[in-house]
A and B are shown apart, each in its own frame.
Chain A
Amino acid sequence: MNNPVENPESGADGDLTPGQPASGSRLSILEPRQTSPGRRAWERFRRNRPAILGAWYLVFLLLAIGAWPVFLKIMGGTFAQMHDPDQLSDTAFAPPGAQYWFGTDVHGRDVFSRILYGAQISLLVGIVGAMVSLVIGVLWGAIAGYVGGRVDNVLMRIVDILYSLPTVIFVIVLITTFGEMLKQSHFIASSPALQSGLRVVLLFFGLGAVSWLTMARIVRGQVLSLRTRAFVEASRALGGGPVRILARHIIPNVFGVVITYLALTVPAIVLYESFLSYLGLGVQPPMASWGTLIAEGVGQINPIRIYWWLIAFPGGVLVTTLLALNFLGDGLRDAWDNKSK
């Protein structure tokens, strides 16, 4: 109190206001001696060529999705009209060429534009759906693992039972139930735009709600093993409450596994969305996703003419995106989980 400048060590925690340079310099002293686990993971990730390629592909795809409509706006005139994803024209089933890079569909719409347009929905559902599954799975698994005992038993038996139920039935029932509920409210029935938007929200929750089971199991396993580790015991012995233990010790340690599994859930949900849209349960006609595009292509199979571009291009983009996402997820796993290497 008399002379705080002379003795900065002892009073550091109490006297320094947050954000003062002293705390920063303390960190920088430590840095040369040991790199943080996050930094080491990043170094490993950077050396994984497929994962980096996957990441670049996704960046490129996202740029294309965002830039293409803007580009059409700027070009204007016939070019924009030709490539408008919703513009019907007389040139149905034009094969891929200089004019239509990916050909046209049954209504003469540009397949290239429709794929980029459908990508918005497919990727959005994948990412948000994965987030939904993350929230449910992490909460479920963390509670089961941390509380333990009877609660753990009940929660995990529920997961087991849901595992033994065919997912298709589960997801169809969820989506139709919520769909009907939404349809019945007047507010939503009045606006078709709102209706198709809600259809997408429905997919978020429906797909998230069936994809959290593995996440819950993984998180539970992690929490269970972390709970008995020495550093958690030490924290408890020093008087740390459950909130502090969870926030300071358990959650940061589960984080890597969760992020990794999240990255692998996104492609699974993108795939599931395209499957549901293929069945006609996903997004509805004015909207498009990769699944509906492929379903339209499959509908055009006939023994006389082969419209391969209607399946090969949407399918190809779907497959390469899934591939990129999976490589990214694998890269993250290898980077975080240095035990397996």
Chain B
Amino acid sequence: MYFVKRLIFAVPLLLVISALAFALVHLAPGGPFDRERAPASPEIERAIKAKYHLDEPVWKQYLQYLNGLAHGDFGVSLKYRNHTVTDIIAQGLPVSMLLGTLAFGFAMGVGLPVGFFTAARHGRWEDYTGSFFSMLVVCVPGFVIAPLLILFFSIKWKLLPVGLWETPWHMILPPIALGLFFAGKIARLMREGMLTAMQSEFVTAARAKGLGESRLLLKHAFRLAVLPVVSYSGPMLADLLTGSFVIENIFQIPGIGVFLVNSSLNRDYTLVVGLSLLYAALLIGLNLVVDFAYTLLDPRVKYE
């Protein structure tokens, strides 16, 4: 019941977000046609603006946009005018989603074991090195690690392709470059969660009962410790699935992250609002999934 209510509440929230995104891009000076190659004569510019209703007041434009939205029409991109927003998303999103999923898998696959292991060896040298590296990795931005990976793995040692997104070989470096930061974050959350869980009373009770240490950590502490990771993974997935400008730009990947930055630079009103809605919908949906997963993992959690 609670989740149905939240799903219903998501609709007005998305409306507000679309209005906000709409208002924000219109607030910025300049228009989508400022960067066209040949400066058009005033008449032509007026005609183009009239065609896309840009000469009308903003609230009217928004109502028209909403009207289109109600019919499932996200409008035509104002920059790439022979593509609809739906087209652009349909082309780029699968690529970004694959990249994001691989990065997510990498982040989880590395982050969880590292976090678990460092906590299990709390206070020893394995803990210090592991914790140091997970902190280090959190501090390395994508635009530093991606070029370095390319320089060494692709150009110097010629092991992997420099860019593009075609064969599985192309799909090794970008997910690593994208997922490294999140792997560090997850490792830190996991370690912190494990340390807290190991101090909790039910773990002490299980230990007193004579449960083996590895079984104790894996079966009892882990379930509690993984909860912060689960709640972090909602927003993280929303970020990963909508693509990363930096990684897609450096590796020349035809995803959707590039559009998110370029559309707001170009004042491509329809594309900005469409992508904002996509991001917000993903975020809301994933947070819902996360909260639902919470109730399964932790029986104490009940939503009203």
Contacts and interface: CB of A to CB of B under 8 A. Distances in A.
A140 interface: no
B164 interface: no
B162 A298 contact: no
Interface string A175-212: 01100110000000000000000000000000000000
Interface stretch (A107-115, A223-231, A311-319): A311-319
B140 A319 contact: yes
A310 to B, nearest CB: 9
Interface residues of B, number: 43
A111 to B, nearest CB: 15
B78 to A, nearest CB: 15
A278 interface: yes
B293 interface: no
Secondary structure at chain B's binding surface: helix, strand, loop or mixed? helix
Contact of A298 (B27, B135, B143): B143
B110 interface: no
B245 A279 contact: yes
Nearest to A305: B155
Given A278-B143, A297-B147, A323 B135 contact: yes
Given A166-B276, A274-B141, A318-B144, A311 B151 contact: yes
Nearest to A311: B147
B138 A180 contact: no
B25 A173 contact: yes
B146 to A, nearest CB: 8
Given A177-B27, A279-B245, A298-B250, A166 B147 contact: no
A312 B33 CA distance: 39
Interface stretch (B45-53, B57-65, B257-265): B257-265
B250 A169 contact: no
A319 B275 CA distance: 31
Interface in B8-23: 13, 16-17, 20-21
B283 interface: yes
A308 B151 contact: yes
B144 A306 contact: no
Interface string A152-184: 000000001101111011101100110011000
Nearest to A310: B147
A303 interface: yes
A164 B287 CA distance: 11
Contact of A169 (B24, B29, B138, B148): B24
A165 B141 contact: no
B206 interface: no
Given A298-B250, A311-B148, A326-B135, A169 B276 contact: yes
Question: For the side of the interface on A, what is the size category?
Answer: 35 or more
A259 interface: no
Contacts of B13: 160-161, 164
Contacts of A303: 155, 162
Nearest to A162: B20
A176 B17 contact: no
B245 A161 contact: no
A156 B140 CA distance: 32
A312 B148 contact: yes
Contacts of B135: 323, 326-327, 330
B15 to A, nearest CB: 10
Interface in A293-341: 294-295, 297-298, 301, 303, 306, 308, 311-312, 315, 318-319, 322-323, 326-327, 330, 340
Given A176-B28, A180-B30, A298-B250, A168 B143 contact: no
Contact of A177 (B28, B147, B155, B245): B28
Given A301-B147, A301-B155, 13 more contacts: A50-B132, A164-B17, A164-B279, A169-B25, A173-B28, A181-B29, A275-B141, A275-B143, A278-B143, A301-B151, A308-B151, A311-B144, A323-B135
Interface of A: 50, 160-161, 163-166, 168-170, 172-173, 176-177, 180-181, 267, 271, 274-275, 278-279, 291, 294-295, 297-298, 301, 303, 306, 308, 311-312, 315, 318-319, 322-323, 326-327, 330, 340
17 contacts: A166-B260, A166-B279, A168-B245, A169-B25, A173-B264, A180-B30, A271-B141, A274-B143, A275-B143, A275-B246, A298-B250, A301-B147, A303-B155, A303-B162, A306-B151, A315-B148, A322-B139
